[in-house]
Chain A
Amino acid sequence: MQALLDVYKIRQDFPILNRCLTNGKKLVYLDNAATTQKPKQVIDAICKYYSEYNSNIHRAVYQIADEATEEYEKTRENIRKFINAKYSEEIIFTRNTTESLNLIAYSWGRNNIKKGDKILLTEYEHHSNIVPWQMLCNHQGAKINYIDIDYNGYLNIESFLNFLEDKGEYGETKLISLSHMSNVLGTIYPVKDIIKIAHEKDIPVVLDGAQSVPHLDTDVQDIDCDFLAFSAHKMLGPTGVGILYVKKEILECMPPFITGGDMIKEVHKEYTVFNDLPYRFEGGTPNIADVIGFNTAIEYLKDIGMGNVREHEKELVKYLYNSIKDIKDIKIYGPPDINNRGGLVSFNLDGIHPHDCATILNDFGVAIRSGHHCAQVLMEKLDIIASSRASVYIYNTKEEIDIFVDALNHVRRIFKV
């Protein structure tokens, strides 16, 4: 079978994958849902900015500042193309997905959510897509409802429709915010259908794309979401760069969130005239170096092709799923159908806490995540306190999965189960 992407060639680009750990083991990095590794091209781009044209953007008139501004804005335009947004001013740089969601909650939320309104979330949301809405609702006197999920991690559509109809003691649902892909279950949700139904009732939809944009081809005009939040560091880019996409007609009506330098046109003693979109939402000196580094990450992913990224992950996760599903007393969460699952598998071994499991895997150089994954509402639903999670990306191989599975069997031997 024709390889979808040349994983061994790709691995050459990632210096960290050659690293030996203190016990002499090679790093087997399977925590890509937390953050991905960076290719040397991205590291070099950041280094180049600092070595050759480090300067502040948007203001100064000399050559290197022009170069920096140009590279920074080039990233914005490239992101626009990458998610197929209509206008580049719909792309706002933040620090991370969490800040992007907070920007919506503070700026759009406080001006549109009124006392008695309802916001609809799901039971599988990451804390970053729960807490900002709780703060907003506490401030405005509004209420949150959570769409049910079933034990395979699928959304209960009936519950969704009921919440939309429910007028109850509270008013109507005024906003829906949900993740495209669960960071614990791996489920890819039919967000396009959900958004279509929401729009029939004129309800705007926020999409948390932290787990989906790095792995799936994303077209905001096709999905028709009103807001999309995601992070650079989960898709080969540096930490400290978040992205918020907002439909222009909505963005035009939103007041600034972080205020101060760079987001203004004029400041007087009594009043301020805000800058144009998108600069109105980027107060203060931004993370210039890392935004520029992110552009290289996008180029890297575009060269591979997001379709190939998805196919590679599907093949790996199928192999991973099938390799561990018959281990005695293992419980795997999320959908059994690989077509509905992104590149991760969460599981528990009966009688062994995930932290103990991850600590022992570390002896084999295997890095996986253990804990509640910032999804305690989901943990409650699943009636567990934590789980272990292995997540793959473009540079992972079947050989690495084999090492992981061997290590998992060793965990069981140590715990004598």
Chain B
Amino acid sequence: MSEDIYREMILDHYRNPRNKGKIEEPDVRIHDSNPLCGDEISIDLKVENDTIKDIKFDGRGCAISQASASMLTEMVSNKPLTTIKDITKNDILENIGLTTLGPARIKCALLSLKVLKIGMIKYYADKDPHSAEKLKEESKVF
């Protein structure tokens, strides 16, 4: 069972995280933690013409939370910022190959997506509070 979870891909992203670190003068910096287990993720974004030009994450926590964040940064890099609103829970679970996580550990996998969605909303809220409100409804931040 656990062998299915802790496959080579997860352990690889956990030990060699992609896009890990901080961006100097980011357009958005968002931090959140998982109160149940203390996983922490912060994400920095550099946005140009509504496209994610650079993304870095920083944090500490379990293999699932950190590997999931690492894979998420690869997934959205160089994509339009608004694509974030359409990313679902299942997209993440399929992306990391863990569709059968229990209710406790699923929060670890989804923390980085939550941070990223809040980051996108914050970016637009700074520019246009009205459109951010609409975005917030559409992006289903859990």
Instruction: List A residues at the B interface (Cβ < 8 Å).
Output: 23, 352-356, 359-360, 362-363, 370-372, 376, 379, 385-386, 414-416
What does the 1/0 interface line of B1-45 toward A look like (CB < 8 Å)? Answer: 111011000010000000000000000000000001111100000
Q: How far is the CB of A3 from chain B (nearest CB, A)?
A: 35
By beta carbon, the residue of chain B nearest A370 is B37
In contact, B63 and A376 (Cβ under 8 angstroms): no
**A residues less than 8 Å from B6 (CB atoms):** 356, 360, 414-415
Asked if B108 CB lies within 8 Å of chain A CBs, one says yes
Number of interface residues of B (CB under 8 A): 18
In contact, B1 and A386 (Cβ under 8 angstroms): no
Query: Which one of B1, B3, B40, B62 lies within 8 Å of A355 (CB-CB)?
Result: B62
**A residues less than 8 Å from B40 (CB atoms):** 385
Chain B CB count within 10 A is highest, among A354, A355, A379, for: A355
Q: How far is the CB of A321 from chain B (nearest CB, A)?
A: 25
Query: Which one of A354, A355, A416 lies within 8 Å of B105 (CB-CB)?
Result: A355
Cα(A415)–Cα(B2), bound, Å? 11
Query: Which one of A353, A362, A370, A385 lies within 8 Å of B63 (CB-CB)?
Result: A353
| Interface residue ranges of B27-82 to A (CB < 8 Å) | 36-40, 60-64
In contact, B38 and A359 (Cβ under 8 angstroms): no
**B residues less than 8 Å from A362 (CB atoms):** 2
Q: A353-B61, A353-B62, A385-B61 are in contact. Are A359 and B37 (CB under 8 A)?
A: no
In contact, B63 and A371 (Cβ under 8 angstroms): no
**B residues less than 8 Å from A415 (CB atoms):** 6, 11
What does the 1/0 interface line of B101-112 toward A look like (CB < 8 Å)? Answer: 000010010000
Q: A353-B63, A414-B3, A415-B11 are in contact. Are A386 and B37 (CB under 8 A)?
A: yes
Q: How far is the CB of A212 from chain B (nearest CB, A)?
A: 25
Q: How far is the CB of A414 from chain B (nearest CB, A)?
A: 5
Chain B CB count within 10 A is highest, among A23, A359, A363, A371, for: A359
In contact, A360 and B38 (Cβ under 8 angstroms): no
Q: How far is the CB of A396 from chain B (nearest CB, A)?
A: 23
In contact, A356 and B3 (Cβ under 8 angstroms): no
In contact, B62 and A356 (Cβ under 8 angstroms): yes
Cα(A356)–Cα(B108), bound, Å? 11
By beta carbon, the residue of chain A nearest B60 is A385
In contact, A359 and B61 (Cβ under 8 angstroms): no
